[in-house]
Chains A and B, each alone.
Chain A
Amino acid sequence: MKIEFDGAQVRYGSTVALAGLDVAVPTGEWLGLVGPSGSGKTSALRAAAGFEPITAGRITLGEAVVADGRRHLPPEKRGPGFVFQEFALFPHLSVAENVAFGLRRLPRAAREQRVRDALERVELAPLADRAPGTLSGGQQQRVALARALAPAPPALLMDEPFGSLDPGLRSAVRRRVAEALRARGCTVIFISHDIDETFALADRVAILRGGVLQQVAPPEEAYTRPANAFVAGFLGPVDLLPGDARGAHIDTALGRLTLARPATGPRLAVVRPHRITVGPTGAPAAITERIYRGHEAQLTARTADGLTIAIRLPSEHPARPGDTVHLSVPDPVETVAVDPDPG
């Protein structure tokens, strides 16, 4: 089932939660929604499910227009499943009964088989008869996942679906759920605060800020070629070096850097900290801070013109606060426009 947002807008009174979202998610694709709190991720997800009316634009699920600002198909007629951040397990039903809730049309034997399969997939089969209130947060979240998986919906909308799982189980449950959904060709839109998780699961990432879509692209492209300074910073640590671009290169505090794509005028060079090398030549900078992180050391340096630079080095590197080092960027870099408010 493909999911299309055409200028979808969600408003609460005079507050615009989602300002004209345009994204088309083809059948079987996984789209990860990221952005700070209040960026409109949850509103977009809830609008697709039918929990929030859209005030303008159009949402299409499969071939059917389900909302266009006037018409509004109720959630139970739309098709996608939903996994809530708060789980929303029915307190009066057992784990198995919760999972069976969406399977009423199936004959009894088939229903019980589905419930067993779904619970086994999230490794909860032994707890089938327990009451949800007696489970841990992570177990409740797995019940919520099983409940949404059981009816085999053509699309699944998930709000922080793995956020409460204990680290030991998290990657295993994630892999098994993804396996099942991929095998079925289920279309998925999910929200996660964990960028690594989003990169691992998503075919494409959509970055939202203040209700406005900033960029939608495959993870590698969004990370290496961010659309703007906000995206560059949101997806990982970054040094944004102001400079003057002259076609094939840009002059910055770290010297003249090669551009991956031609640009001109005042721009920000996007340099990931582990791309900066420390060697005998380069721009001099004084180390001001060093945080040991086991496999690497996270350093902060100050250049001659007062710019603060983050660097990642192997933890064996001898540089210590007070030392002066020489920094250079050997690889070609991308640039973004100078952002008056990079967030």
Chain B
Amino acid sequence: MIDPLRRARTAALYLPALAVLAAVAIPLAFVILRAADADPADARAWLWRPRTAELLLNTLALGLTVVAASIAIAFPLAWLVTRSDLRWPRAVTLCAILPLAIPGYVMAYALRSLGGPLGAGQALLGVTLPRIDGFIGAALALTLYNFPYFFLTFRAAFDRLDPAQAEAARALGAGPGRILLAVHLPRFVPAALAGALVVGLYVLGDFGVVSLMRFDTLSLALYTSWSRMEQGALLALILIGLTLLLLAAEALVALRRGPVAAAGLGEARRPRPIPLGRLEAPVWLALAALISLCVVVPVGTTLHWMLAGAAHFDLGDLTAAAADSLSAALPATALTVALAVPVAWLARRRTWPARIVERAAQLGYAIPSLALALGFVVFALRTVPSIRDTLALLWIAYAAHFMMLAMGPLRGTLPLLSTRHEEAARSLGCGPLGVLRRVTLPALRGAIVAGAALTLLAILKELPLAKLLAPLGSRSLAVSAWAFADEALFADAAPYALTLLAISSCSAALVLRAGREAA
């Protein structure tokens, strides 16, 4: 009634939302369809093999180990930089976040190329280090990549601890033990659970690390059984089921926790730092060991192999790979952002279609990439086989997978923009198109650019979808680095790994900046 544009605008919001929903639902549906093709008796027999149980146990053991080890590193580290009198806390914080800039498969490549008689350790230190691979190698690489997530959430939780709460508890007669258990610890449980979910989903979907470390998980088994799609589909179903379980657990926790609200007014006071005293030297020793393991080793090893292979380095190969990466990433980013803007706009109203689309975007991000890739391949083969050999399939898969990333900054900005702003602009003489041009789009510009940058960088370093969905002959930077490392051609992998380290650093810097602005 107010203006006919409103109706057209509503349609313009729902079409992209439907596209996103389809991009996530279709691969899932085709995984199920493909699995349903299997003879039920064969499928049951195949699934009930000890091998399936072994894969499941391997995956769970890896996930739990990585979560436990990450917490064991991150919690004391967060305490040190927030509560103790440790010197240079900002520099230590920066070092603890740096591993975010090292893709898991580059970390795995560095660790694997370290040991053995031909390894970097022999060349650099003159000692033959033991080979790092298998369960230990995978757990180490994944922990070093993932503990910063826990570190960031724990640090935030420590920062939010208001000493007034502890004082209130003491005034009510609680001793130090009860304060720790009843006042402080509950503040860390949500942070730990949220971190465990992120890291758990990451381990479930990881392909790069486990393949280079030769540790059999569900994802790796799905990759090795790629040519037998029926069995692949069954494994993909298990992966999807585990993902849904983790997401449901998260929803349950969020529901019990209720909305996160600042309970109380006024500024939290900084408590008096706790002196480290005689522990200071051992603490610095441990910090030095950690930082050299998670930053110096990967960067140093990659540089070593780069120099070792400098003689037959071919810039042409690197530029060709970069071109392949960009031709996948640029259109995919444009598509993702073009869909993300209207979808985020729709999602800010808490209506049920908005919730469904938001959940779909979340699911697209959480589902292990290999399962998603399998769904898209089955979909292509059964509907339009010719699309299998084009980049279009990869673009769509990226849009489904990275929608969440592109929407992230928009979700922070959109609540600042209410219908009141549109009304204010119109009472100042601005027509509906003028509102779009002068208010809505300019107000969102920063968020759109940030979302696009996050998406672009994430796609550039993405491995499994690029490996499985790119047309024949296309070899992106990530695929090249992985393929050479997989064949132990460590010097050949180095230029690609270094380029990815640079891309990944930009990406991490962006994430951190966005996080600071949100805080």
Contacts and interface: CB of A to CB of B under 8 A. Distances in A.
B2 A101 contact: no
Contacts of A78: 427
A90 B439 contact: yes
A157 B438 CA distance: 23
B421 interface: yes
Contacts of A74: 2-3, 426, 431-432
A325 B198 CA distance: 74
A92 B445 contact: yes
B8 interface: no
B518 interface: no
A90 B443 contact: yes
A7 interface: no
A75 B423 contact: yes
A91 interface: yes
Contacts of A148: 427-428
A49 interface: yes
Contacts of B255: none
Given A53-B2, A86-B418, A88-B421, A75 B442 contact: no
Contact of B420 (A88, A147, A151): A88
A84 interface: yes
B436 interface: no
Interface string A201-231: 0000000000000000000000000000000
Contacts of A151: 428-429
A82 B429 CA distance: 11
B430 A76 contact: yes
A84 B429 contact: no
Contacts of B438: 101
Interface residues of B, number: 26
Nearest to B434: A76
- Listed residue (A82, A86, A90, A101) with the most chain B CB atoms within 10 angstroms of its CB: A90
Contact of A147 (B2, B417, B428): B428
Nearest to A55: B1
Contact of A82 (B2, B417, B424, B432): B424
Contacts of A53: 1-2
A49 B429 contact: no
Contacts of B519: none
B428 A102 contact: yes
B425 interface: yes
A72 interface: yes
B260 interface: no
Interface in B301-356: none
Contacts of A20: none
Nearest to B446: A92
Contacts of B428: 76, 81, 101-102, 147-148, 151
- Listed residue (A78, A88, A101) with the most chain B CB atoms within 10 angstroms of its CB: A88
26 contacts: A50-B426, A51-B2, A51-B423, A51-B426, A53-B2, A72-B2, A75-B423, A76-B427, A76-B428, A80-B427, A81-B427, A86-B418, A88-B421, A88-B424, A90-B421, A90-B424, A90-B425, A90-B439, A91-B416, A91-B417, A92-B442, A93-B442, A101-B428, A101-B438, A102-B429, A148-B428
Return the 5 tightest CB-CB contacts between A and B, nearest first.
Answer: A102-B428, A88-B420, A82-B427, A75-B426, A92-B443
Interface of A: 49-51, 53, 72, 74-76, 78, 80-82, 84, 86, 88-93, 101-102, 104, 133, 147-148, 151, 157
Interface of B: 1-3, 413, 416-418, 420-421, 423-432, 434, 438-439, 442-443, 445-446
Given A90-B425, A91-B413, A91-B443, 16 more contacts: A49-B427, A74-B432, A75-B426, A76-B426, A76-B431, A80-B427, A82-B427, A84-B420, A90-B424, A91-B416, A92-B442, A92-B445, A101-B438, A102-B428, A102-B429, A147-B428
